[in-house]
Chain A
Amino acid sequence: MTDLLQTSNLTVRFGGHVAVDAVSCSFRAGELTAIVGPNGAGKTTYFNLISGQIPASSGSVHLLGQDIGRLSPSERCRRGLGRAFQLTNLFPKLSVLENVRLAIQAHRLVRGALFSMASSHTALTDEAMAVLERVRLHAIAEQPVTELSHGNQRKLEVAMLIALDPKVYMFDEPTAGMSADEAPVVLDLIAELKADTDRTILLVEHKMDVIRTLADRIIVLHNGALVADGDPAEVIASDVVQEAYMGKELADV
């Protein structure tokens, strides 16, 4: 198995505060890595550094062996880095279908992009509908995003990531705020993606049962630093995780 994504000594400082502290880690194809850590541990910031929303203070990010640390988010995305966001981040006034179609269109060469009708590109529409079917949103494809429930907006967030067809999937708490009967659709989908061994999946998640069933590997961030990396069962049981989540004093008791 090859390393798809690699960060070396990746660091970012905001003033005196070190939000991500020299994190070195490789992500192999065909692997689902769960990233855990308490609130404020730097998980989302680590994601932002990888996908380019925040420039790193030092350290590097490599995708498929190439240094992408100085590229814009759009360039990184075109090279195969797909990201879903923790706070739903969609195109609110456009329809569900249009949101997914835009994600697909971003990676296609569209003929006559300026003077053809968007609706005449039926191949894009069909592809978008197929993605929407996977997250069970195809029935409400024409609704504007603003009319969607929170759970459905989360699903659409996931659908847009799948539509990008990336090499590296980055999920940031994909099931946050979803009801118990909505979450399985998304989790089953992630399990499906895992079966494709060319890709790698990074998953920020708090729910331990989700991690136990899905993750091949866990890394733990605490105060911006990587404090544990390994097999899920071992890491969850280890002292560092107990300490990170419950505080040192409690873990000592």
Chain B
Amino acid sequence: MLMRLISGDSPRSRLLTALLLVIFFGLLFAPFLFPGVRALETAARICVFILLAASYDLLLGYTGVVSFAHAMFFGMGAYGVGLASQHMGRGFGSLIFGSLAGAALAAAFALVIALFSLRVRAIFFAMITLAVASAMAVLVSQLSQITGGEDGFTFQIPRALGPANRMGEFGGINITGKILNYYVVFFVSLALFLSLLRIVNSPFGRVLQAIRENDFRAEAIGYRVVRYRIIATCISAAVAALAGSLFALWLRYVGPDTTLSFAIMLDILLMVVIGGMGTIWGAAIGATLMVLAQTYLQNLMGSAAEATAAIPLLSRLLDPDRWLLWLGVLFILSVYFFPAGIVGRLRTGR
């Protein structure tokens, strides 16, 4: 039963299994284990980014296609929900319509980009996606009447999911609509994550791996390589858009910096590379680590700087303002020591 749920793709390493279980249960009970606004904010972010990184891995790790438009697809879902809620009024109908419209738009964009570029060469696809994503970011910031421009806009979600909806107390914690909202984000992310896991372990997923390994031979044994790449691109874009919808639902806000920016694109890339390309589990590990590092590294360094206040140079280096420097150092070290990603490293053992 459990194996069917994870599509027979066991983590194949004790430590990895333990890590994944910690992440899973940590997220499942996040509102009760880590009370506090910031902790819940981080947990929701982790859910969304695990899904987003996993959908990117379908493309990068399983199909061997490099795309720079993933943040754009993510943004399409987010703006879909935002605009639908704004114009159709708050409600679950708007959320569902906005999500589906965002996903459909993302898939359609992906199809057009893929049709134009994947037929030629995979590297061409990377260039086109970069161009389209940049153009889209400019467009969104220019069309400020519709999109709110650089500032983005806030919108209202159903009352049931808002903090004002008090549903009682459990274990000393006030159960509000915010917590309900968290569980919507958690369970939809989980369901889509498991679907991705199923797709990569399906006959279709095997063909994608074959194409990544040797596209020449995949073509020679009768697979229409271009068609498979296009389908994978569309699925990946649609799931990214759904992740964006969840993120917008959680934040009750959409804006270029939280969804469309190139910084987000780089984050996704790093999550997949650090976690391990070509394994959906790697996306889960990579996304969790990245979000945690981005959220808590500054605090950690603050206390480290205090602890080493007596040592002149070291305390300056550990100053919380230098957190980006240390984040960079951590990336370089992880890519240097785990070229196959954390999951790749754990699976091969020593």
Contact = CB atoms under 8 A, between A and B. Distances in A.
Q: Do A and B come from the same complex? A: yes
Interface of A: 51, 53, 72-75, 77-78, 83, 85, 89-94, 98, 101-103, 105-107, 110, 112-119, 121, 124, 160, 164
Given A74-B220, A89-B216, A102 B206 contact: yes
B210 interface: yes
A90 B206 CA distance: 14
B171 interface: no
Given A116-B202, A118-B203, A118-B205, A91 B210 contact: yes
Contacts of B201: 117-119
Contact of A113 (B203, B210, B219, B225): B203
B203 A92 contact: no
A94 B218 CA distance: 13
Interface string B31-58: 0000000000000000000000000000
B207 A117 contact: no
Given A91-B214, A93-B213, A106 B221 contact: yes
Contact of A77 (B203, B204, B210, B220): B220
A93 B209 CA distance: 9
Which 10 pairs, one residue from A and one from B, show the smallest C-beta to C-beta distance? A77-B222, A106-B222, A91-B213, A113-B204, A110-B203, A78-B222, A113-B203, A114-B204, A73-B219, A74-B219
Contacts of A72: 219, 224
Given A93-B213, A94-B209, A115 B221 contact: no
5 contacts: A77-B222, A83-B220, A105-B207, A110-B203, A114-B202
B223 interface: yes
A124 to B, nearest CB: 8
Contacts of A73: 219-220
Contact of B221 (A77, A94, A114): A77
Contacts of B218: 91, 102
Interface string B215-236: 0111111111100000000000
A118 B220 contact: no
Contacts of A118: 201-203, 205-206
Given A113-B202, A118-B202, A102 B220 contact: no
A90 B223 CA distance: 14
Given A75-B224, A124-B203, 19 more contacts: A72-B219, A74-B223, A77-B221, A83-B220, A85-B220, A92-B213, A93-B213, A94-B206, A94-B210, A101-B206, A102-B207, A105-B206, A105-B207, A106-B221, A110-B203, A117-B198, A117-B201, A117-B202, A164-B221
Contacts of B216: 53, 89
The bracket for how many chain B residues form the interface is: 20 to 34
* Interface core residue of B4, B213, B222, B224 (most chain A CB under 10 Å): B222
A74 B213 contact: no
Nearest to B4: A117
A51 B206 contact: no
A142 to B, nearest CB: 13
Contacts of A89: 214, 216-217, 220
B8 A119 contact: yes
Contacts of B195: 115
Contact of A107 (B205, B213, B217, B222): B222
B7 interface: yes
Interface core residue of A72, A91, A98, A113 (most chain B CB under 10 Å): A91
A112 to B, nearest CB: 8
A115 to B, nearest CB: 6
B220 A91 contact: no
B214 A90 contact: yes
- Identify the interface centre among B4, B202, B207, B224: most chain A CB within 10 Å of its CB: B202
A47 to B, nearest CB: 11
A107 B221 CA distance: 9
